[in-house]
Structure 1
Amino acid sequence: MKSILKDKKGPQKQSNSIGAVRWTLPEETVQVHSSAPTSPFKSSSGSSTRSQQRQRQQGLQDLRSLEECIRFINHWKQQVEQVCKNEDDPGEGCSGPSERQTDHRTERSIEESRKLILQWASELQSVDKLSKNHSWIKERIDQEEEEDTKQDKDQSEAVQKRITEWAKEIQSVSESCGMQGDELAQMLRLLGLRKKRLVSLMPLLEFITWSLLKENSKGMVPHLWLSAKQRTWKAGMPRYIPNSVWSWIVSAGADVSLDPMTINPWLQLSDDHKKVQEGLTETDLPFSLQRFDRLPCVLGWEGYMSGRHYWEVEFANNGYWKVGVTTASSKRHGRFPMNPSNGYWVLWRSTRQFFACTNPETALPLLLVPRKMGIYMDYEEGQISFYNAENKSHIFTFTGHFREKLYPFFALLDGRSVITIWSPKEHSRF
């Protein structure tokens, strides 16, 4: 990807870390017309206006060529590099007192944005440290260096396709949250918009910037990005997952089926062991130490002691449930609290509330309750994450250290609930 960028844009120095940040208000006025980067060529005002209107109508069709996509992505990279400059640079700095705005709401907004991008810069600067903590990364780098010597036309086309997808995704997400491309440029440079308008776009811009400022590629950047971000995201805020990262998550799709030796007698399994609901009567089942005798629960058939695994759960009839992961030795008999100290990492949808079953419980907004939930487990990273599988947004992540086999867990808490297990089988783009 780096070579392609150089071919199209000319030699350009890229840094692998971000220094301290100083804030300056640029003098130039940013046009707010097109979602593509500002063109360096000038035209008459009439033809320019008509051209910009056509661009707005075309939407995502603006980005047709690889060169346009590379220019679009580099537009955002330049914005990041502009605000993330060394603090000791005498030519840069905050505006003087006479230039500062006196409106307190604007000052609060600028401060919120300043803190947000300071955090962003800090995360980018710490990627090197995070990389060193993963022994598998060095092996992957060596492997990729060997692969680089065998690059052919197909690999080059794959890189070009990924760049095109990134550019179109930036454009799509920015327009869906009500901002055109140049509005975002103005936002990054003037820092005058509220933080809540950044929520939808920032994760994607962060991911693209990581990919451009770091030489890592393929599965490494999604892994590092996901590991770093999910450990710091606060509960209760939906977070958009970039398409490239989502594809990497889904590539760990597991074929989950339900274990009849663990099911509570009041629950009923489908013939393919992919669907469970409450039965009309109690079933006479053979004795099993692993069976839930009081709580209406069932486990997945296969457990996991390593690797990444992802499956999806669909909820019908707006019922109440608990879903997540539990250990092989966790309690099955009687009634007990389900939290990490007892070997349960689950989300709980009750009558009027939505919780992560921590100790104490972590309340989540009801608007985060999904119709289809994605559950992603990374055993080595010690992360169990929950997503809205329909809009690809993050709901909650448990972190810890696992020492025994983990099983998918499902509980139905009312008579109308129906849970169906889906096992996506998609291949990663990386």
Structure 2
Amino acid sequence: MTSKTAERAAGSYNSFGNACKPNKSSRACRSQPFLKPLMGLQKLKDKLMKQVCRILSQAKHSSRTEPEDFSLDESKLIIRELAAELDRIVQTRKPSLLTKVTADGSCLEEQQEFILQWAEDIMQQEQTAGGGICSSTTDHHQMKEEVKESDQQKADEEQKLEGARKVLSGWAWSLKQTQQDSVCLDEDVCEVVQDLEKQWKRGQLVNMLPVMDFIIWSLLHPETQKGSIAKQWHRNNQRFKTRAALDHIPESVWKWISKASADITLDPSTMNPSLKLSEDRKAVKMNQIIESVNDPWDGFSRSQMKYDGWWCVLGSESYDSGRHYWEVDVRGKGEWRIGVVNESAPRHGFASLNSTTGYWTLRLQLGQLLAMTAPVTKLDRSAPSRVGVFLDMEEGQVSFYDAGQRCHIYTFDISSDDTERIYPVFGTVETDRALRILN
């Protein structure tokens, strides 16, 4: 054998990752026997197999518990994996609808909130029904049990996210067993999805996560009766703390809300004497006192329902059931209060009018839009010109909308005794421009 051949043979197995580089040291090359490289080859194979086994084992039994592991990229990976499977099995008019999720500008907090909610929905659905498209493998059930035990042992947020990741990954894997384009969405569901897609194209949706959320819900609840789609969308819309992606209301859902239109008039027996009502009792503003006119407080007598501190008035109608919607024109106004109130809530003096005292209202004060919680919640948005109020006694909620832009503003969970009724409430301190009920 020539020395050049020996150099190539020795260099071929010199070290892992440098198998093709010859050893430039001729002394080292000549000192090695011919059969030595064959022994090195066997060791190399063993070493490579150990590395492969270790990588596969880590992939199979990975358990990420460190906060940095569940990053923005990790969240996106989970959502993209699930979006790809949903896109594959769902028949939609436009191909690759959910692939737009990959281009989302959603934040980590929003993505994690969706992931946690989806995982909870999947587990709840499997507990109540074993059929439908959400049936999963034994491994998935095992993972679900692990998540339950983990949640009981640790309330750590990262642990919950890891458990949710396992549930979603398991569901995505079960969807792989479903044939392509094998799921046909209900007509009402398609109408909502198409409306959301149009809004995304117009720039009215920050991202496509609401579309994905609605498709997941429709797959998990295939037994939903026709006509309840809008109601379910509205219910799901209120469950997320992050509102950026869910502000805009689909056309079919908006029609469902508007259908609950209520005819509201103002009740003069509850009005602060400093206020003045229009003849049709649809508008209210501060009374402009003129010296030649009698003082509106002359002959005032306190009653349980009459305001004598805050400048407010109640609606004549009250509710203890059903769904009711009304709109209020507040264009050009700088101060107002709109919402609902418990029958037993305080009326006298200047008591706190917030959610702890039975008032669930929005307030515009010095240009700042406020949700009157305790403490108050500042809303980072411009004041609407028309406020929509949707009282849903069935769900125990009152939601506020920018009726002009058809956007969701804020939702309160209301608490009321079964014997108590809920009244609309209105307030203003301006004398030049009235607050007017539109429907």
TM-score (norm 1): 0.58
Q: Secondary structure at the match of 1:276?
A: strand
* Paired residues for 1:99-114 under 5 Å: none
Pick from 111, 116, 119: which aligns with 1:122?
119
* Paired residues for 1:7-406 under 5 Å: 23=78, 71-72=92-93, 75-76=96-97, 115=112, 118-119=115-116, 121-122=118-119, 124-125=121-122, 128=125, 162=188, 165-166=191-192, 168-177=194-203, 197-198=206-207, 201-211=208-218, 213-215=220-222, 216-234=224-242, 239-281=247-289, 282-283=295-296, 287=301, 288-367=303-382, 369-403=383-417, 404-406=420-422
TM-score (norm 2): 0.57
**CA distance in structure 2 between the partners assigned to 1:272 and 1:23 by the alignment:** 57
Residue 434 of structure 2 aligns to which amino acid in structure 1? Answer: V
Question: Structure 1 residues 297 and 379, CA, compared in 2 at 3 Å: closer, same or farther?
Answer: same
Displacement of 1:22 in angstroms is: 6.2
Contact preservation (8 Å) 2:285, 2:429: no
Displacement of 1:264 in angstroms is: 1.3
Residue 172 of structure 1 aligns to which amino acid in structure 2? Answer: K
**CA distance in structure 2 between the partners assigned to 1:24 and 1:225 by the alignment:** 20
Question: Structure 1 residues 285 and 278, CA, compared in 2 at 3 Å: closer, same or farther?
Answer: farther
Contact preservation (8 Å) 1:219, 1:248: no
CA RMSD, Structure 1 to Structure 2 (Å): 3.9
Contact preservation (8 Å) 1:130, 1:224: no
Question: Structure 1 residues 417 and 124, CA, compared in 2 at 3 Å: closer, same or farther?
Answer: farther
Q: Deviations over 1:244-265 (max 9, x none)?
A: 2222222211111111111111
Displacement of 1:396 in angstroms is: 0.8
Q: Secondary structure at the match of 1:374?
A: strand
Structure 1, 377-386 or 284-293: larger mean CA deviation: 284-293
Q: Deviations over 1:142-196 (max 9, x none)?
A: xxxxxxxxxxxxxxxxx75x46744642442121129xxxxxxxxxxxxxxxxx9
**CA distance in structure 2 between the partners assigned to 1:168 and 1:312 by the alignment:** 27
Question: Structure 1 residues 339 and 126, CA, compared in 2 at 3 Å: closer, same or farther?
Answer: farther
**CA distance in structure 1 between the partners assigned to 2:264 and 2:350 by the alignment:** 26
Larger-gyration structure (1/2): 2
- Give ranges in structure 1 of 5+ residues lacking alignment: 1-19, 27-36, 39-68, 84-105, 133-158, 179-195, 424-430
**CA distance in structure 2 between the partners assigned to 1:236 and 1:244 by the alignment:** 20
Residue 256 of structure 2 aligns to which amino acid in structure 1? Answer: W
Residue 360 of structure 1 aligns to which amino acid in structure 2? Answer: P
Q: Deviations over 1:11-62 (max 9, x none)?
A: xxxxxxxxx9964989xxxxxxxxxx99xxxxxxxxxxxxxxxxxxxxxxxx
Residue 393 of structure 1 aligns to which amino acid in structure 2? Answer: C
**CA distance in structure 1 between the partners assigned to 2:112 and 2:267 by the alignment:** 48
Structure 1, 405-414 or 274-283: larger mean CA deviation: 274-283
Q: Deviations over 1:47-93 (max 9, x none)?
A: xxxxxxxxxxxxxxxxxxxxxx963267447x59x99xxxxxxxxxx
Displacement of 1:238 in angstroms is: 6.8
**CA distance in structure 1 between the partners assigned to 2:92 and 2:429 by the alignment:** 52
Question: Structure 1 residues 347 and 126, CA, compared in 2 at 3 Å: closer, same or farther?
Answer: farther
Displacement of 1:223 in angstroms is: 2.5
Displacement of 1:307 in angstroms is: 1.3
Contact preservation (8 Å) 2:262, 2:325: yes
Question: Structure 1 residues 251 and 396, CA, compared in 2 at 3 Å: closer, same or farther?
Answer: same
Question: Structure 1 residues 204 and 257, CA, compared in 2 at 3 Å: closer, same or farther?
Answer: farther
Q: Secondary structure at the match of 1:346?
A: strand
Residue 207 of structure 1 aligns to which amino acid in structure 2? Answer: F
Contact preservation (8 Å) 1:323, 1:410: yes
Q: Deviations over 1:220-248 (max 9, x none)?
A: 33333322331333478871222222222
Displacement of 1:212 in angstroms is: 5.1
Question: Structure 1 residues 321 and 129, CA, compared in 2 at 3 Å: closer, same or farther?
Answer: farther
Aligned to 2:170: none
Contact preservation (8 Å) 2:200, 2:206: no
**CA distance in structure 2 between the partners assigned to 1:318 and 1:339 by the alignment:** 21
Structure 1, 208-217 or 311-320: larger mean CA deviation: 208-217
**CA distance in structure 1 between the partners assigned to 2:370 and 2:355 by the alignment:** 14
Pick from 402, 407, 417: which aligns with 2:423?
407
Displacement of 1:305 in angstroms is: 0.8
Structure 1, 239-248 or 306-315: larger mean CA deviation: 239-248
**CA distance in structure 2 between the partners assigned to 1:381 and 1:413 by the alignment:** 32
Aligned to 1:419: 435
Q: Secondary structure at the match of 1:256?
A: coil
Greater RCO (CA < 8 Å, at least 6 residues apart): 1
Contact preservation (8 Å) 2:210, 2:245: no
Displacement of 1:112 in angstroms is: 6.4
Q: Secondary structure at the match of 1:122?
A: helix
Aligned to 1:141: none
**CA distance in structure 1 between the partners assigned to 2:360 and 2:422 by the alignment:** 10
**CA distance in structure 1 between the partners assigned to 2:228 and 2:396 by the alignment:** 17
**CA distance in structure 2 between the partners assigned to 1:354 and 1:406 by the alignment:** 23
Moved over 6 A (4+): 129-132, 235-238
Q: Secondary structure at the match of 2:92?
A: helix
Aligned-pair identity in percent equals: 32
Structure 1, 323-332 or 278-287: larger mean CA deviation: 278-287
**CA distance in structure 2 between the partners assigned to 1:24 and 1:300 by the alignment:** 46
Contact preservation (8 Å) 1:373, 1:387: yes
Contact preservation (8 Å) 2:197, 2:211: no
Q: Secondary structure at the match of 2:412?
A: strand
